[in-house]
Structure 1
């Protein structure tokens, strides 16, 4: 018996060692490229021209970031990106949650028909040209709301929230109805608070999509005042040349290469998401119904 215990303990240690070794390898595979991008963005154009992996900047320089922020319209683009990300993610989550709440009710009339229509949207779309004509007919061209209204609904997110709502104890809803609460009060006071992990996950994924999206601007927006940060970054990279880059004012930025500007823009656009993610992470691991009625 003792020999079996010792053998089992040895197998467990071997497994933990191999598991931790693999996790460390994968961690380094992820961290090293990110570190290289971050460090290279602070390197001068001369050191970047030499090529190769950069573990630490040989010539520290802020010219790459100055080249990006020298364009005064970059702050307007940053505001547009933040606004469309916050408003877009918030309205998307709220709209999908309302639809999912209705779908979670077995007594919803036409529920099978609505589900079939929603499933079709997961596999088929109208195409680029019909979508453009629809956006134009709705008067959303060159409008801030082109970032918000078309992105309100996602049947995939509705399915996730619908299954989450079905796990809410029926006794909570029954007790609320006894106290005179209607569907709106039950939705706001019971279902949404108990569904924070699902809501936070969908908000994070949709927010990242909104923040990184520039194809919507490319297709539907020509007014530069409505350009988000991603579109301005795209313009800056296009304007950059191999060895030097000229900013909007026409002055030459010394020792700034196209690669350096690209690396700086990657850091600028990624940093907000990295800062926001830890704020939402706690909802992923939190209990769904702490203190609720158990059935």
Structure 2
């Protein structure tokens, strides 16, 4: 056997180009070169898993909506939970939205969420902008206080004593002021502000802009993505909060919607004609009324989320480790 037969084959430039071409094709196809093309069985397994996950989310919500639109006979025949209603009956929604406990609680929740979100965004943006300027007065000690608040939260009893000391019991401000600033959100917004080009801020100052003008005319317009995401976090927190109302509100006429939801749905307390505000001596089934309250509590978040969802990719990844 000749020596040429035992000599290892040498790859030429064309072989390298072919390998590079395959890697480029793999990247364009959206998969790593280390992994092969997914098999039919793998794709089928992924489809089954995603379908099950969607069903776990969609089926209960569809059942809640269907039960709220069903009549008494259909709810009784289905055993209390209807998946597919045979007709659309809005008696439960007319009953809970005609006045009374639910309507008042809905208005209170909307006002608390709107005012609380606006104040929280303003306070978070101001504090984060001050902490993002390393030459500001008290920058380091205040930053340590914020980071300490991220790691250690106050207990229930100290929070209650502070609210009581300031005379906020049975006040709507007790639902806003104790949770107005979230330390983690401040850290996220601060990281976004620090990533803004320093040259842009310096150019604004050269043109004669002060700190307030720079914040209002330059920083905030460039931070719409992160502010939209943080605003959604604050709004969902205010809207879903019931524990603070349970602690600080003794007057039932000031209850927000989530506390009414907990009382009449979770605790299965029946609603009377005088509490609902409906006219007449008869009411829709209690199950339909409870499901209608639950749907009403979900609708605002479902309406707002699509308008903010496009900002999530940029807002949530703010401050992440870049690869």
Q: TM-score range by the shorter chain?
A: 0.7 to 0.9
Q: Secondary structure at the match of 2:85?
A: coil
Distance 1:23 1:260 in 2: 30
Q: Structure 1 residues 247 and 240 mapped into 2: Cα distance closer, same or farther (>3 Å)? A: farther
Q: How many angstroms does 1:191 deviate by?
A: 1.1
What aligned pairs does 1:184-263 form with structure 2 within 5 A after superposition? 184-237=212-265, 238=267, 240-241=269-270, 245-248=271-274, 253-254=282-283, 256-257=285-286, 259-263=287-291
Distance 2:92 2:103 in 1: 17
Moved more, 91-100 or 59-68: 59-68
**Partner of residue 63, structure 2:** 36
Q: Secondary structure at the match of 2:285?
A: coil
Moved more, 153-162 or 67-76: 67-76
RMSD: 3.1
Distance 1:34 1:20 in 2: 21
**Partner of residue 172, structure 1:** 200
Distance 1:107 1:72 in 2: 54
The answer as to whether partners of 1:96 and 1:153 remain within 8 angstroms in 2 is yes
What aligned pairs does 1:37-186 form with structure 2 within 5 A after superposition? 37-49=64-76, 50-51=78-79, 54-58=82-86, 60-186=88-214
1:91-120 CA-partner distances (Å, limit 9, x unpaired): 101101111111112223443322222222
The answer as to whether partners of 2:93 and 2:289 remain within 8 angstroms in 1 is yes
The answer as to whether partners of 1:71 and 1:247 remain within 8 angstroms in 2 is no
The answer as to whether partners of 1:246 and 1:253 remain within 8 angstroms in 2 is no
Distance 1:138 1:193 in 2: 36
How many residue pairs get aligned? The number is 281
Distance 2:251 2:89 in 1: 34
**Partner of residue 27, structure 1:** 54
1:69-128 CA-partner distances (Å, limit 9, x unpaired): 354343332222111111111110110111111111222344332222222222333322
TM-score with structure 2 length normalisation?
0.76
Q: Secondary structure at the match of 1:218?
A: helix
**Partner of residue 33, structure 2:** none
Q: How many angstroms does 1:34 deviate by?
A: 1.6
1:25-55 CA-partner distances (Å, limit 9, x unpaired): 4333322222121112112334334338633
Name structure 1 gaps, 5 residues minimum.
288-295
Distance 2:94 2:211 in 1: 53
Distance 1:53 1:281 in 2: 32
The answer as to whether partners of 1:63 and 1:253 remain within 8 angstroms in 2 is no
Q: Structure 1 residues 73 and 41 mapped into 2: Cα distance closer, same or farther (>3 Å)? A: closer
Distance 1:286 1:129 in 2: 38
Q: Which entry has the higher C-alpha Rg, 1 or 2?
A: 2
**Partner of residue 290, structure 1:** none
